[in-house]
Structure 1
Amino acid sequence: MKNKKKRNALRQSLAVFRYSGRAIGLVWNTSRSLTIILATLTLMAGLLPAAIAYIGKLIVDAVVLASQVESQSHNFVNIYRPLLYVGLEAIAVALLAGSQRGLSVCQSLLRVLLGQRVNVLILEKALTLDLWQFEDSEFYDKLTNARREASIRPLSLVNRTFGLVQNALSLVTYGVLLVNLSIWSVVVLVIAAMPAFIAETKFAGEAFRLFSWRAPETRQQHYIENLLAREDYVTEVKLYQIGEMLLGRYHQLFDQLYGEDRDLTMRRGLWGYLLSLVSTAAFYLAYAWIVVETVMGRISLGDMTMYLTVFRQGQSTFSNALTSIGGMYEDNLYLSNLYDFLEEEVVQPWGEATRGLNPQDGIRFIDVTFTYPGSSKPALRNISLHLKPGEKLAIVGENGSGKTTLIKLLTRLYTPDSGRILLDGLDLQEWDVDALRRRIGVIFQNFVRYQFTVGENIGVGDVEHLEDQNRWRVAAEKGMAQPFIEQLPQSFQTQLGRWFKGGQELSGGQWQKIALSRAFMRSQADILVLDEPTSAMDAQAEFDIFNHFRTLTRKQMVFLISHRFSTVRMADKIVVIEAGEVVEQGTHEELLAAGGRYAKLFLLQAAGYK
Structure 2
Amino acid sequence: MNASFLSILRQIPTLFRHTVSLAWHADPWALVVVAVAQLGQAAATAFGLLATNRVLVSLFAAGPTADRVREALPSLLWVAAASAFAATLRAVSFAATGRLGPKVERLAGLSMMEQVIRVEMEHIERSDFHAALDSGQHGQTAARRLIEHTLGIVEALMALIAVSGVLAVLHPVLLPLLVAVVVPKAWGTVRAARRTYESVQIWLEHVRQQGALRRLLISQRAAPELRVHGAGPFLLDQFDQMAAQAADEQTRLAHLEARTELATSALSGLTAGATYAVLGWLLTHGQLPLAAGATAALALTSGTAGLRRMVTHIHHLYEQSLFMNDLIRAREEARRRAIPATGAPVPEPPEVIAFDRVTFRYPERAAPALDDVSLTIRKGQVVALVGANGSGKTTLSKLLAGLYLPTSGTVSWDGTDLRALRRDDVFAHVALVLQNFKQWPFTARANVAISRPDAIHDTARLDAAAAYADAHSVLADLPHGWDTLCEKGYEGGVDLSGGQWQRVALARAYFRDADILICDEPTSSMDPAAEIDAFHKIRALASKDQTIVLVTHRLHSVKEADVIYVLDEGRLVEHGDFATLMSADGPQVFRRLFELQSHQYRTDTLDGVPAQRIRSRDAMPDQSPAAGTTG
TM-score by length of 2: 0.88
Report the Cα distance in structure 2 between the residues aligned to 1:485 and 1:332, rounded to whole angstroms.
50
Q: 1:187 aligns with which of 162, 176, 190?
A: 176
SS in 2 for 1:461: coil
Structure 1 residue 530, shift from structure 2 partner: 0.3
Q: Could you report, residue by residue, the CA deviation over 1:256-304 in whole angstroms, capped at 9, with x for unpaired residues?
A: 2222222122212221222122112222233244345445555433222
Which residue number in structure 2 is paired with residue 491 of structure 1? 481
SS in 2 for 1:152: helix
Contact 2:146–2:321 under 8 Å retained in 1: yes
Structure 1 residue 355, shift from structure 2 partner: 4.2
Contact 2:432–2:517 under 8 Å retained in 1: yes
Q: Spell out the pairing of 1:439-458 with structure 2 (5 A cutoff).
A: 439-458=429-448
| Amino acid across the alignment from 2:308 | S
Which residue number in structure 2 is paired with residue 348 of structure 1? 340
SS in 2 for 1:128: coil
SS in 1 for 2:457: coil
Does 1:304 find its partner at 2:304?
no
Which residue number in structure 2 is paired with residue 317 of structure 1? 306
Q: Spell out the pairing of 1:263-302 with structure 2 (5 A cutoff).
A: 263-295=252-284, 298-302=287-291
Report the Cα distance in structure 1 between the residues aligned to 2:11 and 2:123, rounded to whole angstroms.
28
Q: 1:21 aligns with which of 13, 17, 22?
A: 17
Does 1:336 find its partner at 2:325?
yes
Contact 1:145–1:212 under 8 Å retained in 2: yes
SS in 1 for 2:117: helix
Which residue number in structure 2 is paired with residue 139 of structure 1? 129
Which residue number in structure 1 is paired with residue 44 of structure 2? 48
Which residue number in structure 1 is paired with residue 532 of structure 2? 543
Q: Spell out the pairing of 1:542-561 with structure 2 (5 A cutoff).
A: 542-554=531-543, 555-561=545-551
Which residue number in structure 2 is paired with residue 480 of structure 1? 470
Q: 2:153 aligns with which of 149, 159, 164?
A: 164
Does 1:364 find its partner at 2:354?
yes
Q: Spell out the pairing of 1:592-607 with structure 2 (5 A cutoff).
A: 592-593=582-583, 594=585, 596-607=588-599
Which residue number in structure 2 is paired with residue 128 of structure 1? 118
Q: 2:417 aligns with which of 427, 450, 463?
A: 427
SS in 1 for 2:20: helix
Q: 2:515 aligns with which of 526, 545, 552?
A: 526
Which residue number in structure 2 is paired with residue 590 of structure 1? 580
Report the Cα distance in structure 1 between the residues aligned to 2:283 and 2:171, rounded to whole angstroms.
14
Report the Cα distance in structure 2 between the residues aligned to 1:191 and 1:9, rounded to whole angstroms.
14
Structure 1 residue 368, shift from structure 2 partner: 0.8
Contact 2:516–2:546 under 8 Å retained in 1: yes
Which residue number in structure 2 is paired with residue 63 of structure 1? 59
| Amino acid across the alignment from 1:273 | L
SS in 1 for 2:512: coil
Report the Cα distance in structure 1 between the residues aligned to 2:115 and 2:464, rounded to whole angstroms.
35
| Amino acid across the alignment from 1:31 | D
Does 1:411 find its partner at 2:407?
no
Report the Cα distance in structure 1 between the residues aligned to 2:547 and 2:93, rounded to whole angstroms.
63
Contact 1:171–1:318 under 8 Å retained in 2: yes
**Unpaired stretches in structure 1, ≥5 consecutive residues:** 1-5
Structure 2 CA distance for partners of 1:54 and 1:464, relative to 1, 3 Å:
closer
| Amino acid across the alignment from 2:411 | I
Structure 1 residue 363, shift from structure 2 partner: 2.0
Does 1:260 find its partner at 2:249?
yes
Which residue number in structure 1 is paired with residue 567 of structure 2? 577
SS in 2 for 1:429: helix
Report the Cα distance in structure 2 between the residues aligned to 1:101 and 1:136, rounded to whole angstroms.
48
| Amino acid across the alignment from 2:63 | V
| Amino acid across the alignment from 2:441 | Q
Contact 1:20–1:158 under 8 Å retained in 2: no
Q: Could you report, residue by residue, the CA deviation over 1:98-141 in whole angstroms, capped at 9, with x for unpaired residues?
A: 22222222221111221222222122112221112221112112
Structure 2 CA distance for partners of 1:54 and 1:349, relative to 1, 3 Å:
closer
Q: 1:566 aligns with which of 556, 559, 564?
A: 556
Structure 1 residue 472, shift from structure 2 partner: 1.2
Q: Could you report, residue by residue, the CA deviation over 1:188-225 in whole angstroms, capped at 9, with x for unpaired residues?
A: 22222111111211221221122122221111111111
Report the Cα distance in structure 1 between the residues aligned to 2:169 and 2:18, rounded to whole angstroms.
40
Report the Cα distance in structure 2 between the residues aligned to 1:325 and 1:548, rounded to whole angstroms.
65
Structure 2 CA distance for partners of 1:530 and 1:197, relative to 1, 3 Å:
same
- Determine what percentage of the aligned residue pairs are the same residue: 27
Report the Cα distance in structure 2 between the residues aligned to 1:286 and 1:552, rounded to whole angstroms.
87
Contact 2:8–2:318 under 8 Å retained in 1: no
Does 1:248 find its partner at 2:252?
no
Contact 2:140–2:324 under 8 Å retained in 1: no
Q: 2:451 aligns with which of 461, 465, 469?
A: 461
Contact 1:350–1:429 under 8 Å retained in 2: no
Q: Spell out the pairing of 1:97-246 with structure 2 (5 A cutoff).
A: 97-148=87-138, 150-179=139-168, 182-246=171-235
Q: Could you report, residue by residue, the CA deviation over 1:355-406 in whole angstroms, capped at 9, with x for unpaired residues?
A: 46x95x4222111111112222211111111122222111112222211111
Contact 1:369–1:418 under 8 Å retained in 2: yes
Q: Could you report, residue by residue, the CA deviation over 1:434-489 in whole angstroms, capped at 9, with x for unpaired residues?
A: 33222222101111112222222111222332221111111122222233323433
Does 1:81 find its partner at 2:71?
yes
Structure 1 residue 19, shift from structure 2 partner: 4.0
Report the Cα distance in structure 2 between the residues aligned to 1:276 and 1:55, rounded to whole angstroms.
32
Contact 1:194–1:319 under 8 Å retained in 2: no
SS in 1 for 2:326: helix
Report the Cα distance in structure 2 between the residues aligned to 1:234 and 1:190, rounded to whole angstroms.
60
Which residue number in structure 1 is paired with residue 84 of structure 2? 94
> Which 10-residue stretch deviates more, 310-319 or 329-338?
310-319
Contact 1:204–1:326 under 8 Å retained in 2: yes
| Amino acid across the alignment from 2:319 | E
Task: Report the count of equivalent residues.
Answer: 594
SS in 2 for 1:448: coil
> Which 10-residue stretch deviates more, 289-298 or 434-443?
289-298
Report the Cα distance in structure 2 between the residues aligned to 1:561 and 1:131, rounded to whole angstroms.
20
TM-score by length of 1: 0.91
Report the Cα distance in structure 1 between the residues aligned to 2:8 and 2:180, rounded to whole angstroms.
25
Which residue number in structure 2 is paired with residue 3 of structure 1? none
Structure 1 residue 552, shift from structure 2 partner: 3.4
Structure 2 CA distance for partners of 1:548 and 1:172, relative to 1, 3 Å:
closer
Which residue number in structure 2 is paired with residue 608 of structure 1? 600
Structure 1 residue 24, shift from structure 2 partner: 1.0
Contact 1:23–1:155 under 8 Å retained in 2: no
| Amino acid across the alignment from 1:373 | P
Report the Cα distance in structure 1 between the residues aligned to 2:28 and 2:369, rounded to whole angstroms.
52
SS in 1 for 2:222: helix
> Which 10-residue stretch deviates more, 159-168 or 552-561?
159-168
Which residue number in structure 2 is paired with residue 382 of structure 1? 372
Structure 2 CA distance for partners of 1:13 and 1:469, relative to 1, 3 Å:
same
Contact 1:42–1:163 under 8 Å retained in 2: no
CA RMSD of aligned residues (A): 2.5
